[in-house]
Chain A
């Protein structure tokens, strides 16, 4: 049972050798060979909830939309992004980032969820998911008027996430900006190169995502681990990132959001600028909102002991004498290291309501779960 060598086509982070030296387990995430875990998911999860952890998320996409239209419309990169992506960029200004969605024009389904940084009217920096970056860039480039450029910078930058209640202390010890508002970013100079420090994350804790030039990543990673020693910083893998985000009920594209799952169904309508005149998928989403979605994303919390997994069927009866019917499907499920119970996100028919008891088909056995509204663990992002 020797280790199968990774496929040769996989991209690696500039920190790949560091991860191997730390004994990380690696897996393919969106075409990138990235760490799943170093010392263990449960311990890494706890470090982020109680102290501080650092994640290499360099596989995340990076792209820049820049310029102003030369077609006489006067539209800037800001205007163009605001007329295509779903959230209303006018809610924020330069120096702020926003969670937004790229929806399909025809169906309203989600092509990707991403973070948009407003650097200026003429420059919007995007962080899409790794596997969706090329498609997001393709759609934006196809729609961009002359004068506005869309550039895929996937391998130009590295992204390190420093997350947890001690994250501000760690960054302060490094002399980096810290303590700014949630979803605000600051720029600094690192190794003579630009470094962006954004108060974002995917863990539910106070945290920062650092975007640096790829050649600077190795030194930054090493400096973070060294400066974090007094705070017992742990390198954390994408396994812990998944349990952390699931406890918060944050959707994951490819599971809880997809081309087949709209923002209305996944309850991320808060990231849609409903009053805007234009964004991709506007007609379809307004129609779905008026009509009422055919399913909605809920949280499920274990009553019977069991760990939910994606695609488990959700029933309205305990079986086997009372078979009932299928009312939905688990989209994300895991063991919550904080609560020590099974938790899930599931798309359920509109008849489901908070407090209902439903039953998951756990490999042939039905386990009772309670319908709830996430988060499962109180967020401490601010």
Chain B
């Protein structure tokens, strides 16, 4: 995830490069269905990597999602501390329905802040078994407790090899620091 597709600022919103006024294809919410935005578009603090919490016992994707394996195939998914800080206050969450088949690397939901929309990507292929209904009324849980009450959905992976493609904490830290 972490791909702001629309960015809206205050008075004097002459924005950087191609996101100017959100009118270009990349920044235009209405036209661009998916695509991870380049890092330049993600608004992060200069100390973000150094201070981000990256628990050792989780698996990660390069799209800044975490995966907790309860068994080899029963997985819980959320976004990382680094990602929630970069996205800012989450105000609306759209998640796949329980029962939905999702494909690794494909968008399966959206996280919206006041100023941007970001895709949620499926970290593995499989069937969604549960979604965090609390996020409907309290999307800010993604910010306040990204690894706990801010989890997004659970998925039964189509096979135990699903985890092999994921990063460990050290691998994710390396990706975040790039």
Closest B residue to A242 by beta carbon equals B10
Q: Which of B55-90 contact A (CB under 8 A)?
A: 64, 86, 88-89
Contact partners of A342 in chain B: CB under 8 A: 92
Q: Which of A331-382 contact B (CB under 8 A)?
A: 332-335, 337, 342, 361, 363-364
Q: In this assembly, does B108 line the interface, its C-beta being within 8 Å of a C-beta of chain A?
A: no
Kindly specify which of B44-52, B97-105, B121-129, B158-166 makes contact with the partner chain.
Answer: B44-52
Q: In this assembly, does A141 line the interface, its C-beta being within 8 Å of a C-beta of chain B?
A: no
A335 and B91 contacting across the interface, CB-CB below 8 Å: yes
- Give a binary string over B1-45; 1 marks a CB under 8 Å from any A CB, 0 the rest: 010001111111111100001110000111101000011101111
Q: In this assembly, does A23 line the interface, its C-beta being within 8 Å of a C-beta of chain B?
A: yes
Q: Which of A1-57 contact B (CB under 8 A)?
A: 1-4, 7, 20, 23-32, 36-37, 40-43, 57
Contact partners of A139 in chain B: CB under 8 A: none
Q: In this assembly, does A245 line the interface, its C-beta being within 8 Å of a C-beta of chain B?
A: yes
B15 and A309 contacting across the interface, CB-CB below 8 Å: no
B91 to chain A, nearest CB (A): 4
Contact partners of A242 in chain B: CB under 8 A: 8-11, 13, 114-115
Q: In this assembly, does A253 line the interface, its C-beta being within 8 Å of a C-beta of chain B?
A: yes
Q: Which of A307-328 contact B (CB under 8 A)?
A: 307, 309-313
- Give a binary string over B135-154; 1 marks a CB under 8 Å from any A CB, 0 the rest: 00000100100000000000
Q: In this assembly, does A267 line the interface, its C-beta being within 8 Å of a C-beta of chain B?
A: no
B139 to chain A, nearest CB (A): 10
Interface centre among B15, B22, B115 (most CB of A within 10 A): B115
Query: Which residue in B14, B49, B86 is a CB contact (below 8 Å) of A29?
Result: B14
Supposing A2-B178, A309-B117 touch, asked if A28 and B15 sit within 8 A by C-beta, the answer is yes
Contact partners of B112 in chain A: CB under 8 A: 307, 335
B13 and A252 contacting across the interface, CB-CB below 8 Å: yes
Q: In this assembly, does A129 line the interface, its C-beta being within 8 Å of a C-beta of chain B?
A: yes
Supposing A25-B44, A335-B91 touch, asked if A1 and B39 sit within 8 A by C-beta, the answer is yes
Q: In this assembly, does A130 line the interface, its C-beta being within 8 Å of a C-beta of chain B?
A: yes
Query: Which residue in A29, A309, A311 is a CB contact (below 8 Å) of B12?
Result: A29
A376 to chain B, nearest CB (A): 14
Q: In this assembly, does A206 line the interface, its C-beta being within 8 Å of a C-beta of chain B?
A: no
Query: Which residue in A31, A37, A309 is a CB contact (below 8 Å) of B88?
Result: A37
Q: In this assembly, does B118 line the interface, its C-beta being within 8 Å of a C-beta of chain A?
A: no
Q: In this assembly, does B175 line the interface, its C-beta being within 8 Å of a C-beta of chain A?
A: yes
B35 to chain A, nearest CB (A): 12
Closest B residue to A236 by beta carbon equals B10
Query: Which residue in B8, B15, B64 is a CB contact (below 8 Å) of A334?
Result: B8
B8 and A363 contacting across the interface, CB-CB below 8 Å: no
Supposing A29-B10, A29-B12, A202-B11 touch, asked if A363 and B115 sit within 8 A by C-beta, the answer is no
A201 to chain B, nearest CB (A): 11
A42 and B30 contacting across the interface, CB-CB below 8 Å: no
B30 and A313 contacting across the interface, CB-CB below 8 Å: yes
B9 and A27 contacting across the interface, CB-CB below 8 Å: yes
Closest B residue to A29 by beta carbon equals B12
Q: State A127–B90 Cα separation when bound (angstroms).
A: 33
Supposing A41-B115, A311-B30 touch, asked if A3 and B44 sit within 8 A by C-beta, the answer is yes
Closest B residue to A128 by beta carbon equals B12
Closest A residue to B29 by beta carbon equals A309
Contact partners of A145 in chain B: CB under 8 A: none
Closest B residue to A340 by beta carbon equals B91
B12 and A30 contacting across the interface, CB-CB below 8 Å: yes
A2 and B39 contacting across the interface, CB-CB below 8 Å: yes
B105 to chain A, nearest CB (A): 17
Query: Which residue in B11, B22, B39 is a CB contact (below 8 Å) of A245?
Result: B11
A245 and B8 contacting across the interface, CB-CB below 8 Å: no
Closest A residue to B177 by beta carbon equals A2
Q: In this assembly, does A186 line the interface, its C-beta being within 8 Å of a C-beta of chain B?
A: no
Interface centre among B12, B91, B92 (most CB of A within 10 A): B12
A44 to chain B, nearest CB (A): 9
Q: In this assembly, does B176 line the interface, its C-beta being within 8 Å of a C-beta of chain A?
A: yes
A371 to chain B, nearest CB (A): 19
B125 to chain A, nearest CB (A): 23
Supposing A310-B22, A337-B114 touch, asked if A29 and B88 sit within 8 A by C-beta, the answer is no
Contact partners of B86 in chain A: CB under 8 A: 1
A–B Cβ pairs within 8 angstroms, 21 of them:
A1-B44, A2-B39, A4-B40, A20-B46, A23-B45, A28-B15, A29-B13, A36-B9, A42-B91, A60-B11, A130-B12, A242-B8, A245-B10, A254-B21, A306-B92, A307-B92, A311-B22, A311-B30, A334-B114, A335-B114, A363-B29
Q: A2-B39, A27-B16, A40-B143 are in contact. List 10 more A-B contacts (CB 8 A).
A: A3-B44, A29-B12, A36-B9, A36-B43, A41-B89, A238-B9, A238-B10, A309-B22, A311-B22, A363-B110
| Closest CB pairs A-B (n = 6) | A241-B10, A131-B14, A242-B10, A238-B10, A309-B29, A4-B40
